[in-house]
Structure 1
Amino acid sequence: MVNYSRNNIKRNFQLPLIRWLCLLVLSFNSCFIFAAEDYLLGGGDKIQISVYEQPDLTTNVRISQDDGTITFPLLGEVAIAGLSPEAAGSKITKLLKDGGFIKDPQVSVSVQEFLSQKIPVMGQVNSPGEYSLKGESRVIDLIAQAGGLRTDAADVITVVKNEGGKSVKYEIDLLQFYAGDMSQNIGVSRGDFILVPKMDKFYIQGEVQGPGMYRLERDMTVMQAISVGGGITGRGSLKGIKVTRHKADGKTQKIRVELMDRLQPNDVITLKERLF
């Protein structure tokens, strides 16, 4: 059996948190360069333009948010907003060739920062708001941009994706992610929405050493919850334990529970005093 003493529950929570923060730092410092044929360039996007065997013409430039143009050597202003990276490369190729600047130019365009495409990251992150896609962005990248998770964040993140004009809900299990399941770190794109809900919690009162509110761990039992609360007092009893539970209609009900029963979010455990 897992020892759910107060000190242990704190350590058990800190370990995945440290691993999570390390992964966020790695994600935040990563630089992605991604060229997507179906992506349309927009104002604010940062792109890299490479011309084969012409290093002086290779440049990084940001697309103007005012008119969707870039300034390119030899050509001046070139309108590329609304084009795919491939189409933008073809346009610059044609302009260089038709202008007589290069006989047979080979131009490639790749997107470095997708600032024209933003995704809302809301809920229990340190800086909720809209954040720009940077390369082949994934959930962890956006969470990192939002300052990481708050200490009261839940273990499951909700991602709503726009797939074929329909909203499809995905749940990202952080406990599986901590264990190395990278499939939880799904890709995100324009039209998606990330929500980090609050952690589930429970309350314990009465004859317990540490009454108050605690994080509800997955599949936590009444016995484990009592251990988290420091155990019963010298006058406390493990018999006749009652839980006040919230029903779907918003009302509450008091039910008698056994030590191995599983708790539900927002349960209130009451421990009574021994009669003898």
Structure 2
Amino acid sequence: MTSSPSRFLATLLLLVFGFIGAASAAAEREYVLGPGDIVRITVFQNPDLTTETRVSENGTLTFPLIGSIVVGGQSTTKAENTIATRLREGGFVLMPQVNVLPMQIRGNQVAVLGQVNRPGRFPMETANLRLTDMLAIAGGISPNGADTVVLVGVREGKQIRREIDIPALFMNGDLANDAVVSGGDLIYVHRAPVFYIYGEVQRAGAFRLERGMSVMQGLAVGGGTTARGTIRGLRVHRRGADGVLKVIEPELDDLLQVDDVIYVKESLF
């Protein structure tokens, strides 16, 4: 049984557009050259043109026969085409096949600092890397890290600062906020918010404050009261936005706030 011409044509179009889409996605992920990068440039069957050079601060490099050429901000494929065009138009090589290979990536780096497992500066080895990509490269957020990450950088000549809720990206499917990073960006993961508990509890100390955590849940994290402890007369010491310390008597289902201190008294009976 043979397929109808229309079905064959539809299948062919799907294959073609699928290939174009895959090629486009691959192109978007290509590394983009930046200042400080060291590249090795070769021209097929022209070994005397092999050059290892550095991209200058203004995005240019020097290549034999054609001199200075702008490659900063170009993908490696675009840079290859640019060099090949100059060689062909100058009459130096009839049909140049150029290869640009980054040897040391220094221009497009992103700093990831704070509560990550491997802080440092990391090269952007492909284009269109996102915030979560860089966090993964840095080993992910450490157990002490906050859920909200700060991204600082420059876009169109203006300083930007964004706070991005990482769990919301995946729990709510809000991937539009997974920002594309740029060379020179800084990603900072602050220490997770904590609360404190002391007095007649099984485990006194500082604990991570989870979202929507109630006073009762805070007590549970501390292992509950001791045999001598009581939740009657429970106190929470809380510092307000004005810096004034207040002592309140909360309900068990009240929500805890950052740096709250729960005090469990000893029972008198």
TM over 0.5: yes
Name the counterpart of 2:156: 164
The answer (yes or no) to whether the contact 2:237–2:246 under 8 Å persists in 1 is yes
1:178 CA drift (Å): 4.7
Name the counterpart of 1:142: 134
Residue identity matched to 1:243: V
Q: Determine whether 1:245 maps to 2:238.
A: yes
Moved over 6 A (4+): 54-57, 106-113
1:61 CA drift (Å): 8.4
Give me the CA root mean square deviation.
3.7
1:228 CA drift (Å): 0.9
Look at both structures and tell me which one has the larger radius of gyration over its CA atoms.
2
Give the % identical residues. Answer: 34
Partner secondary structure for residue 261 of structure 1: coil
Name the counterpart of 1:228: 221
The answer (yes or no) to whether the contact 1:160–1:170 under 8 Å persists in 2 is yes
Name the counterpart of 1:93: 85
Find the aligned partners of 1:88 and 1:128 in 2 and give their Cα distance: 34
The answer (yes or no) to whether the contact 1:216–1:265 under 8 Å persists in 2 is yes
Count of residues paired in the alignment: 235
Q: Determine whether 1:197 maps to 2:187.
A: no
1:212 CA drift (Å): 1.2
Find the aligned partners of 1:87 and 1:69 in 2 and give their Cα distance: 11
Q: Determine whether 1:210 maps to 2:203.
A: yes
CA change 1:84–1:129 in 2 (3 A) is: closer
Q: Determine whether 1:133 maps to 2:142.
A: no
Name the counterpart of 1:8: none
The answer (yes or no) to whether the contact 1:32–1:112 under 8 Å persists in 2 is no
Deviates more, 1:233-242 or 1:172-181: 172-181
Q: Determine whether 1:121 maps to 2:109.
A: no
Partner secondary structure for residue 146 of structure 2: coil
Find the aligned partners of 2:125 and 2:52 in 1 and give their Cα distance: 13
Query: Unaligned stretches of 5+ in structure 1?
Result: 1-30
CA change 1:256–1:61 in 2 (3 A) is: farther
TM-score by structure 1 length? Answer: 0.69
CA change 1:218–1:35 in 2 (3 A) is: same
1:246 CA drift (Å): 2.0
